[in-house]
Amino acid sequence: MSYSLGFYRFLDGEPAKPDMDVVRAVLSPCDAAPEKAAEDDTEFWIRAADGSEAEVFVFDSGIGVERPQAGDVWKIIIDLADRLGAGIVIPDGTLLCREDMRGHLPEGLEIDAVFVPEITLEVFERVAGPFSPPLT
């Protein structure tokens, strides 16, 4: 079974482009194919120290995370969302986001949002609940 997540950041009610400097700073150290990396890459295959992997795709309006395996790769994924100030769309449609994004969400989106001071793995597990795959 495949599992995927979407990360989105908003500014004044509009989707904001992900900060590629932050994306590279978080993902480059765990690039599973560094020999293929290029400055303008928007696709990443990452591997954590424990061998768990995920694919990350950066788009103009957000980030897609595909097939994250159980293990430490989840720490990398959640760190990326938090450092970007991005919300995570849980498969049930809930948007998990930091409190500081509340005023930037498009009108009405806050109804399906859970606001937290910081996005951590523990918070993600609690909010995603039954919609979360095994993380560790």
Predicted TM-score of the model (pTM): 0.88
pLDDT value for 90: 86
Q: How far, CA to CA in Å, does 88 sit from each of 40, 41, 127?
A: 24, 22, 10
3-class DSSP state for residue 39? coil
Q: Is 80 exposed, middle or buried (0-12, 13-18, 19+ CB in 10 A)?
A: buried
- Helices vs. strands in the chain: H and E counts, helices first: 3, 8
Please give the chain's pLDDT, 136 residues, in tens.
Answer: 468 899 999 999 999 999 999 999 999 898 777 666 666 788 999 999 999 999 999 999 999 999 888 899 999 999 999 999 999 998 888 999 999 999 999 999 999 899 999 999 899 988 887 666 666 6
DSSP 105: S
